[in-house]
Structure 1
Amino acid sequence: MRSIKAPQLDLEPVADHVLDHYGLAGEWHQLGGEREQNYRLVTAAGEKFVVKIASLEEDEESLIFQAKALEHIEQVDPALQVPRVRRTIAGDLLSSISAGEGRKHALRVLSFVAGETVMDLLSRRGFNLSTDDLLSLGAAQGRLARALQGFNHRSALRPIPWDLANGLVLGDWLRDYIPEEIRQDVDRALEHFAGSTLAALPRLRSQVIYNDFHESNVLVRAEPSFEVAGVIDFGDMVYGTIAQDLAVAVASFIHWSPEPVAAAAAVVRGYQRHMPLEAADLAVLKDLVLARLILQ
């Protein structure tokens, strides 16, 4: 898989650009980022934003897809805590910042969503999620899936590595990463996936799905009780089955329970509070979870 590295622009031209194009100024704080250069900006009024500078290799149309999805969610479910798009003074979803030698990076400004990631919470309080925690996580994902209903964009059909439906999990390259002691079991699981599971996917309910509901993208508050505070990073959205979307979450969160089957059931029950599943969705869910576990 091709790796995209984050750019490394100096802060001063970034701050000048954001002031000129978005009318925002304040205190700047560097944030981490695998594919994008990220800053948190806190204005004098206390507003918090994330400024995201994309790699030159990033597809600008994909960034527009993400921005339009976020605006759709804001219209459909305004209380759902996802980043809000801050348009430029001219009303554009993105702007372009020069990096010299004719190179231009796409730049976005989003609202900052407060909370700690599930992974940070697990690290802090012990690596365990209760049934109630898992129900809350499943419900939050179901609510997000419901909010994305009715939205579409041509970039939803682009090929991405983490789309289970594209068959990447069946590639020979993956075998090099599978431990010898489980390779036979993995081969059997993938043989089944390549047959009946992939063949069933085109007949299932599909829509634009978030496709990345895991420990590092879900923000929570633990006090006074566990609560999902928001969801970030919409870069892996794709047009796919509802079952596939749910499988990503199940595969991510069953690690954090001593009873993985019960944990999976809790996530599914929570999801169905907002997105009831059909028998056909449930019929392929286990296979999709196994495929995601193998791929990740």
Structure 2
Amino acid sequence: MSQINQTLRKWNKPAFSEMQAIGLVEREFGLSVSEIKPLPSYDDQNFHLWVACSEGNEGGVEEYVLKITNCEESQNPGLVEVQTRVMMFLRAEGFPVATPRFTKKGEIMFIESIDVGSATQGYLVRLLTYLPGRTVATVPVSPPILYEVGQLAAKLDKTLAEKFHHPLIKHLHRDTFIWNLANVPLLEQYIPALNQSRDLEVVKRVIEQFKLIIVPKLSKFRPCINHGDLNDHNILLDTHSASPESPRYRVSGILDFSDMSYGYYVFEVAITIMYMMIESEDPLGVGGHVLAGFESIVPLTTEERDALFLLVSGRFAQSLVMAAHTILLHPENKEYLMITAKTGWKHLAKLFEMGQEGVEKIWFETAKRYT
């Protein structure tokens, strides 16, 4: 990568100061910020804000997330707008998702330009409602929660496929988007970031099998719009038990729609299974519970079920390779970027050690018990 290109990629992630963020909110939304805290993120920049409540709730505070989109996606405002319209639609349909606060001009987002190096870069800015709760990554996840997460993934995709219509929906056809699961073969350009030969060989094996087996079958999968990133940090849980000593959890929030794109139903369940494995004490057992929940809403076809093992493996490869690549660009964000890698390499190696038949036996027999 040339020095110029590397510098441009470093600018991809916004780097607004807290004072700049507060200034944006006060200027564009007319809100008085009482407290601000940075939130971890992959390539966007997020702040958790506390602001004084509007009239009628004197003395109270409201919470928001200020989301500043990376410069690459900021150059495609149609994409960001349709993602935001999807969030508004899903909220109206009863899904627990954030919605945007409109600016003083009545807009759901705006461009803020700042100087970066010797150039000026524009970033799309939105103020979203804050969703409270604990992330799946922070609690021991039980089979009932995994089942509910699987159900939620299927309901989300099915609702969008059947009911969502918008003139900007064409922007969700992201044919070269690296996080679309169909694009596992595009990882080949990023694998030089892997230094360990054993990890490199596993990823090469995943890519080759994906090209050989999955790519020719894509036309047989049922298409839909995917959230695309239902990971253990993007799903929130809330307690609904009277006993604090033995809390029971339910899904209370879905975060981050920036990876949304056209894909297939089987992509969503594969992505969800992969991410639910990350912090699990029984990672191989996760898939059956998520699959059972998903299939209670959208049963998979034979072709889709046969592809599940390689699709889960493909998502592991995407997450691990792109984390290694992004760390080279943003070493200061290494701790957040390494979240999946801490257990991900081990899980991917275990999948291939057991093989497709052995893993599917666990998943499918677990799912069958629900029916």
Is TM > 0.5 for Structure 1 vs Structure 2?
A: yes
Matched, 1:275 2:298: yes
8 Å CA contact retained: 2:237, 2:250: yes
* Equivalent residue, structure 2, for 1:115: 133
* Equivalent residue, structure 2, for 1:204: 221
After TM superposition, list the pairs within 5 Å mapping 1:56-95 onto structure 2.
Answer: 56-57=71-72, 58-59=74-75, 60-75=77-92, 77=93, 79-95=94-110
**1:212 shift after superposition:** 0.5
Candidates 21, 31, 39, aligned match of 1:24: 31
Candidates 55, 62, 65, aligned match of 1:47: 62
**1:218 shift after superposition:** 1.1
**1:192 shift after superposition:** 2.8
* Equivalent residue, structure 2, for 1:217: 234
8 Å CA contact retained: 1:211, 1:245: yes
Residue identity in the other structure for 1:106: L
Q: Partner of 2:237: helix, strand, or coil?
A: strand
Q: Deviations over 1:151-186 (max 9, x none)?
A: 362221222211121243551643763854576665
CA distance in 2, matches of 1:183, 1:105: 35
Summarize the Cα distance change of 1:10–1:199 in structure 2 as closer, same or farther, 3 Å threshold: same
Residue identity over aligned pairs, in percent, reads: 23
8 Å CA contact retained: 1:244, 1:288: yes
* Equivalent residue, structure 2, for 1:237: 260
8 Å CA contact retained: 2:97, 2:255: yes
8 Å CA contact retained: 1:169, 1:295: no
CA distance in 2, matches of 1:19, 1:73: 28
* Equivalent residue, structure 2, for 1:105: 123
Q: Partner of 1:73: helix, strand, or coil?
A: helix
CA distance in 2, matches of 1:102, 1:263: 46
Q: Partner of 2:179: helix, strand, or coil?
A: coil
Q: Partner of 1:24: helix, strand, or coil?
A: coil
Q: Partner of 1:293: helix, strand, or coil?
A: helix
RMSD: 2.8
8 Å CA contact retained: 2:185, 2:211: no
Matched, 1:191 2:199: no
**1:258 shift after superposition:** 4.7
Residue identity in the other structure for 1:164: L
Q: Partner of 2:137: helix, strand, or coil?
A: helix
CA distance in 1, matches of 2:201, 2:188: 15
Residue identity in the other structure for 2:30: G
Candidates 134, 140, 158, aligned match of 1:146: 158
Farther-moved stretch of structure 1 (65-74 vs 276-285): 276-285
With normalisation by structure 1, the TM-score equals: 0.84
**1:104 shift after superposition:** 3.7
Q: Deviations over 1:46-95 (max 9, x none)?
A: 322111223444333332132121122123x2x21111122223322212
CA distance in 1, matches of 2:103, 2:270: 36
Q: Deviations over 1:215-234 (max 9, x none)?
A: 11111125531211111111
Residue identity in the other structure for 1:36: D
**1:266 shift after superposition:** 0.4
* Equivalent residue, structure 2, for 1:165: 182
Structure 2 unaligned segments of length 5 or more: list them. Answer: 1-5, 54-60, 242-247, 320-371
Q: Deviations over 1:230-282 (max 9, x none)?
A: 11111111110111111111111134445444320100111223333333322
Candidates 277, 291, 294, aligned match of 2:314: 291
Residue identity in the other structure for 1:29: I
CA distance in 1, matches of 2:305, 2:17: 47
CA distance in 2, matches of 1:134, 1:70: 23
Structure 1 unaligned segments of length 5 or more: list them. Answer: 122-127
CA distance in 2, matches of 1:185, 1:26: 48
Per chain length, whose mean CA-contact separation is higher, i.e. which structure has more relative contact order (CA < 8 Å, sep 6+)?
A: 1
Matched, 1:8 2:16: yes
* Equivalent residue, structure 2, for 1:156: 172
8 Å CA contact retained: 2:185, 2:207: no
Candidates 270, 281, 284, aligned match of 1:247: 270
CA distance in 2, matches of 1:142, 1:240: 13
Q: Partner of 1:108: helix, strand, or coil?
A: strand
